[in-house]
Structure 1
Amino acid sequence: MNDLQGALKRQKIAYFSMEIGLRSEIPTYSGGLGGLAGDAIRSAADLNIPLVAVTLVSNKGYFRQILDPSGNQIEHTEEWNPARFMTLLSENISVKIQDRDVKISAWLYNCKSLTGSYVPIIFLDTDVEGNDREDRKITDSLYGGDRRYRLKQEIILGIGGVRMLEALGFNVRKYHMNEGHSSLLALELLKRNGADPAKVKELCIFTTHTPVEAGHDKFDYGLVEDLIRDKNDIDTLRKFGGEDRFNTSLFALNLSNYVNGVTKRHSRTSCELFPGYKIQAVTNGVHSYTWTSPYFRTLYNRYLPGWTDEPELLVRVGKIPDAEIWEAHWSAKRDLIDEVNKRAGVDMDYEALTIGFARRMTSYKRATLILSDLEMLRKINRRGKIQLIFAGKAHPSDEAGKQIIRDIFKTIETLHKEIKIVFLENYDMDLAAKMVAGVDVWLNTPSCPYEASGTSGMKAAHNGVVNFSVLDGWWIEGWIEDVTGWSIGPQPEEELSEEEARLAELKDLYYKLYYIIVPMYYEQKDEWFKLINNSIGMVAYYFNSHRMMRNYVTNAYL
């Protein structure tokens, strides 16, 4: 509690996120949004930014993924004990859902920096004595249940989060909503500020991560009125969140003075989605120390002292001898291949060009694009041996995403005597760290413009891994052809039909693998070393969360 008392002395930025990725043993994240939140918090701790974070405890996690021999995904709850990592605080508050007072307790986790600074994270928990059995489960499952369950979670996060911070004595300067899930905090702030939207706007920052209309949370007012029964509250939600359905992002937009997307392209897309709103751009980054393998950490410590505090020092990577960079990469690759062979028994090869693809398994990510023409893949493999590593979870209700995993398993079976391909189950932060450091090429093939940012390729770059990606999200800003990596398919400004774009992408994907990537890897090591150096010195030096958080401080927090 001494740490908490110390944190109360300074005005805070309250950072609200439905999910936060801190470590694999704390399964309170599902993917990119949680990973980004965790990296933002780690950088805030490093930079001594006065932040306090608020999220849900998700007692049963997201889910543990088990895959049967045919690639069928089986979901298991991933129950964990917060008491192993956190301190249960004595304060309790309540929020009204329907006509019931739902009690909320809080766990404190201090995210500590190597510098000694820390950011307190408040995990809200409704598994409290005295609550109805149904209410005790509200903070159980991340993104679980139906629309009613989701709206209850958003009431707890937004309204409950503001009340908990007040009960704990935090002096909050600004409220930063990381995606629209926490936007109901603005409803609570309106009550505390005489229903004056101008005052609330001064307090609120909204970051949207969703580039398509369908991705923004919307709730039917019949459901909203059933759970939030105060007529004045409903009138407020209709006024600022939409007449037909309650749109959480619209509510946040209307009650925030600073709004941003997470890349320059995404900011422009968001302005088209929500015309009339000023939506800035703060391009995402990743926490350099967390996502750099131990082998590269040792190298950077030796040649670039201070890089953990100033990742921009990675621009001086040219000081490090190529032989030492290759040894660091080789060590990370060996660790990954050993892990793959231990898990899957596929006897992957240390020497072969290894391509990695790991992210949420959903249709627009197009994990199977590289598997579209198996004859071309065989031809590429004859030019120089390749092997592919896939990983990722499909949301339990995403049947199309689950089918993608089954399709990959069918291809693995079809090609098992020719090309080594593996799908690793239960993708988590530990596996992610091994993969982004251990592959040779990081593949990214989303349908444009559905990738708001993406961050896995930034993590790969910190380890000298070369990006090969569709021009969407962050890669538009990081890409210089044949210098920092390679693009796949048309330029963003080219106007092609969906089918034309896909054919252009497939042609480019296979052409570059056959004529450029595979020959360079096997026959032009000096050119490959240049790409490794440029991944670190021209990509990682900029696409890090220290730069991102400094941008938030100067643009939004001050």
Structure 2
Amino acid sequence: MPHTPFVGRTRIAYFSMEIALRPEIHSYAGGLGVLAGDTVRSCAELELPVVFVTLASRAGYFRQTIDAEGRQGEQPDWWQPADWCRPLGAMTAVMIEERPVWVRPWLYLHEAPHGHAVPVLLLDTDLEQNDPADREITHSLYGDGNDYRLKQEIVLGLGGIRILRALDFEIRTYHLNEGHAALLTLELLNRSRIEPEDRIAGEPSYDVAEVRRRCVFTTHTPVEAGHDRFPYALFQRMLPDFVEIDTLKALAGAEQLNMTRLAFSLSGYVNGVARRHAETTQHLFPGYRVHAVTNGVHAGTWAHPAFAALFDAQIPQWQHEPEVLVRALQLGKDEIWRCHLAAKAELAERVQAISGTALDPDLPILGFARRMTGYKRPLLLFSDLDRLAQIAAERPFQLVLAGKAHPRDDSGKAAIQRIHQVIRQLDGKLRCVFLPDYDMALARILVSGCDVWLNTPQPPLEASGTSGMKAALNGVLNLSVLDGWWIEACVDGVNGWAIGTDGSTGTGTSDGDHAAALYALLEKTVLPLWHDDPAQWRRMMRQAIGSIAYYFNSQRMMRRYATEAYLR
């Protein structure tokens, strides 16, 4: 790649199916992509020698619409790579079903405030050289059907590693953010192949140890649906004779090609994204060592401008070194409250513009925004509508909700429809609004403008969760089930509240248990504190920033990856 000084120094390649670079670039679906985007931003600020590889995803994940009955609809969410990226001259081909599929990268440069930039390569197959069907491989993020998904993962894993070589990158370490890019390990495996004439009888055909030395794998989900599996017949049709099938079955599972297991087998460093998640993953995949690097968020991106200005004035260097945010414990409560009111006013303005609903600035706002799927339990708060209405009558509050269900997740779609039914049922009793098409731009406003951030996953299925970290950075108090990152952060009654127990004994984590605990907290603790003791509420806001934001940030996360995973 001519005239690009980062090629010579870059030694690490980070592969992710989705990366949230900016709201206008629709190459992300949710938390996995937002985490990858925060990784990009921190790598630039820390000047780490990393290149990022993802798909262009021209049609995005999808644009969510909600009809009059509360039913989710999906439309393509097109964006034009030429508006934000520049095409690179190099191309490479991967053979899929015995025909070449050409891949060209777009270059997006993310520049840190001090000027250092890191490259992001967005792989694109929408080229005139390709068959019309193959031009669509990089259109829809997480497209429908096994055939389409496997083609995407071939382009990401095999196409990505070959593009890096075509651009003269000399990569020493490959970081797989989830299993979608696991096929790159097979490309490395083929390069390590030991020819029969050079092998001693009985020795393996490949240098597995060399591949493992070069690969780092971060797994993000303990949910079965989150691990891609493909029939071997499909793999052999797509990539005939690419690798010895017996070898592949030994690495990726006897019955199906399990991309997570393949990544486990060929990565020398594997980690979960929180301590509890690493423990859960260790049980799911016995025989492998699973480290824990708890996720973090990019402080400079997710701090509301009012808080950013306050931090700039009183805690210099907070963006580059967020550890100094521990000094937020010295900030004045009234200053924090002033910043919060600015964020809350922006949220109220956006809610009014989107839904026509006017929020009351003098009442607390509870926020719930995440992927709408079963284990997130988006309906837990609505388990007993009479009880909820009674609580709201005694201690008024407001609800703002948002989130997308995967197009094939019928239960998630049903939850969205049920939420809209509940909104109508609670009309006049509890002000509640659902904001459609939840994205990075809306998330920035929600996580800073709410007073309480609600999270109700079914333990131990929350891998980490990062939206609550963003909320705490802005002084918003978490009200969350003890799962994922919150087990590590929660000091109950000091920087937020725990719903129920941590579930380590397997008891007290049913829907009924958690609903009862949630209602009791709202009725007896959270809402009374808001209404009756504003000084203590503001002290807790200060504690949330000082005891959470200083640690749960992507600068700390990337320093750990650099020292523990990349420098092995």
* TM-score, length-scaled by structure 2: 0.96
- Residue 237 of structure 1 deviates from its aligned partner by 2.0
The match for 1:447 among 435, 441, 458 is: 458
Q: Which residue of 2 aligns with 1:282?
A: 293
- Residue 231 of structure 1 deviates from its aligned partner by 5.8
**Does 2:197 match 1:186?**
no
- Residue 370 of structure 1 deviates from its aligned partner by 0.7
The 1-side partners of 2:472 and 2:208 are apart by 43
- Residue 417 of structure 1 deviates from its aligned partner by 1.2
- Residue 491 of structure 1 deviates from its aligned partner by 2.5
Contact conserved, 1:213 with 1:273, CA < 8 A, in 2? no
Give 1:503-514 correspondences, 5 Å limit. Answer: 503-514=512-523
- Residue 111 of structure 1 deviates from its aligned partner by 1.1
Unmatched 5+ stretches in structure 1: none
- Residue 484 of structure 1 deviates from its aligned partner by 1.3
Counterpart residue type for residue 527 of structure 1: Q
The match for 1:388 among 394, 399, 411 is: 399
The 1-side partners of 2:392 and 2:499 are apart by 19
Q: Which residue of 1 aligns with 2:493?
A: 482
Q: Which residue of 1 aligns with 2:79?
A: 80
SS of match in other structure, 1:133? coil
Give 1:58-97 correspondences, 5 Å limit. Answer: 58-97=57-96
Counterpart residue type for residue 53 of structure 2: V
* TM-score, length-scaled by structure 1: 0.98
The 2-side partners of 1:231 and 1:85 are apart by 35
**Does 2:4 match 1:5?**
yes
Counterpart residue type for residue 146 of structure 1: G
The 1-side partners of 2:141 and 2:247 are apart by 27
Contact conserved, 2:373 with 2:409, CA < 8 A, in 1? yes
Unmatched 5+ stretches in structure 2: 194-205
The 1-side partners of 2:77 and 2:481 are apart by 34
Q: How big is each residue's C-alpha offset from its partner over 1:195-241, in whole Å with a ceiling of 9 and x where there is no partner?
A: 31111111000000011334211111111111011163434322311
**Does 2:265 match 1:266?**
no
**Does 2:303 match 1:292?**
yes
- Residue 193 of structure 1 deviates from its aligned partner by 2.1
SS of match in other structure, 2:352? helix
Give 1:175-324 correspondences, 5 Å limit. Answer: 175-194=174-193, 195-230=206-241, 232-324=243-335
Give 1:325-474 correspondences, 5 Å limit. Answer: 325-474=336-485
The 1-side partners of 2:350 and 2:153 are apart by 38
- Residue 283 of structure 1 deviates from its aligned partner by 0.2
- Residue 58 of structure 1 deviates from its aligned partner by 0.4
Structure 1 stretch 338-347 or stretch 469-478: which is displaced more?
338-347
- Residue 497 of structure 1 deviates from its aligned partner by 7.3
Give 1:156-175 correspondences, 5 Å limit. Answer: 156-175=155-174
**Does 2:151 match 1:140?**
no
- Residue 518 of structure 1 deviates from its aligned partner by 0.6
SS of match in other structure, 1:172? coil
SS of match in other structure, 2:213? helix
Counterpart residue type for residue 476 of structure 1: I
Q: How big is each residue's C-alpha offset from its partner over 1:398-425, in whole Å with a ceiling of 9 and x where there is no partner?
A: 1111100100000110111121100000
- Residue 175 of structure 1 deviates from its aligned partner by 0.1
Q: Which residue of 1 aligns with 2:20?
A: 21
- Residue 454 of structure 1 deviates from its aligned partner by 0.5
The 2-side partners of 1:186 and 1:503 are apart by 44
Q: How big is each residue's C-alpha offset from its partner over 1:517-550, in whole Å with a ceiling of 9 and x where there is no partner?
A: 1111111112101210111000111000000000
Q: Which residue of 2 aligns with 1:556?
A: 565
- Residue 475 of structure 1 deviates from its aligned partner by 0.4
The 2-side partners of 1:531 and 1:152 are apart by 49
Paired residues, number? 555
Runs of 4+ in 1 over 4 A off after TM superposition: none
Contact conserved, 1:138 with 1:149, CA < 8 A, in 2? yes
Contact conserved, 1:228 with 1:234, CA < 8 A, in 2? no
Counterpart residue type for residue 415 of structure 1: L
The 2-side partners of 1:160 and 1:488 are apart by 45
The 2-side partners of 1:312 and 1:257 are apart by 29
Counterpart residue type for residue 393 of structure 2: R
Q: Which residue of 2 aligns with 1:502?
A: 511
- Residue 24 of structure 1 deviates from its aligned partner by 1.3
Q: How big is each residue's C-alpha offset from its partner over 1:274-309, in whole Å with a ceiling of 9 and x where there is no partner?
A: 111000000000000000000000000000011011
Q: Which residue of 1 aligns with 2:198?
A: none
Q: Which residue of 2 aligns with 1:48?
A: 47
Q: How big is each residue's C-alpha offset from its partner over 1:451-472, in whole Å with a ceiling of 9 and x where there is no partner?
A: 0001000000010000000011
Contact conserved, 1:453 with 1:473, CA < 8 A, in 2? yes
- Residue 368 of structure 1 deviates from its aligned partner by 1.2
SS of match in other structure, 1:550? helix
SS of match in other structure, 1:8? helix
User: Residues 523 and 231 (structure 1 numbering): CA distance in 2 closer, same or farther, change over 3 Å?
Assistant: closer
SS of match in other structure, 2:160? helix
**Does 2:556 match 1:547?**
yes
Contact conserved, 1:412 with 1:422, CA < 8 A, in 2? yes
The 2-side partners of 1:328 and 1:353 are apart by 15
Counterpart residue type for residue 179 of structure 2: G
SS of match in other structure, 1:232? coil
The 2-side partners of 1:318 and 1:390 are apart by 30
Counterpart residue type for residue 502 of structure 1: D
- Residue 496 of structure 1 deviates from its aligned partner by 2.2
The match for 1:521 among 525, 530, 537 is: 530
The 1-side partners of 2:363 and 2:118 are apart by 42
Q: How big is each residue's C-alpha offset from its partner over 1:430-485, in whole Å with a ceiling of 9 and x where there is no partner?
A: 10000000000000001111100010000000100000000110000011110111
The 2-side partners of 1:92 and 1:398 are apart by 36
SS of match in other structure, 2:172? strand
Q: How big is each residue's C-alpha offset from its partner over 1:78-98, in whole Å with a ceiling of 9 and x where there is no partner?
A: 111100000000101000001
SS of match in other structure, 1:300? helix
Counterpart residue type for residue 362 of structure 1: T
SS of match in other structure, 2:9? coil
- Residue 318 of structure 1 deviates from its aligned partner by 2.6
